[in-house]
Amino acid sequence: MSDIMYRGLGRRKSSSARVILRPGKGEFLINKRVARDYLMSDILLKDALQPIVISDQKEKFDITVNVRGGGLSGQAGAIRLGIARALLEVSVDFRKNLKTAGMLTRDARVKERKKPGLKKARKARQFSKR
């Protein structure tokens, strides 16, 4: 096992992912499980691996991820940002392509809190004027 490792932290909604890239054959583990078994959806897996595909590093790194919180979609988004940030540690040359693809921007949308007197964040009882 190589001593060289590149780290990246990604967050999305209430999920937080710590990503470690090591030179290798392309293994992808999430919480000590094979990524395909963990995410269960090809769409989410593709979304999480987008930075690797854009930077053309598909079979060059082993990816180990520790992710907590949220659901699978938020976790996939957090993993995507973590991988993109770890790739920047590998080489600054990836920055231009990742930036134009929007991989380095944290999605700041989070669930709005419930307000008192309302049923949900914005849902109120039906209003009758007369």
Q: What is the CATH number of domain 6-101?
A: 3.30.230.10
Residues 85-99: tens digit of each pLDDT: 999 999 999 999 999
The confidence score (pLDDT) of residue 83 equals 96
Q: Kindly list the domain boundaries of the chain, sorted by start residue.
A: 6-101
pTM of this structure = 0.90
Q: Is residue 60 scored above 70 in pLDDT?
A: yes
**In 31-130, which ranges are E strands?**
33-34, 61-68
The confidence score (pLDDT) of residue 124 equals 95
Length, in residues, of the chain: 130
The confidence score (pLDDT) of residue 2 equals 59
Average pLDDT over residues 110-118: 95
Q: Is residue 1 scored above 60 in pLDDT?
A: no
Which residue is associated with the tokens 């993109």?
84
Torsion angle defined by CA atoms of residues 5, 11, 17 and 22, in that order, rounded to the nearest 10 degrees: -20
Task: For residues 89 and 97, give the distance between their C-alpha atoms in angstroms, rounded to a whole number.
Answer: 15
Answer yes or no: are the C-beta atoms of 78 and 67 closer than 8 Å.
yes
The confidence score (pLDDT) of residue 3 equals 83
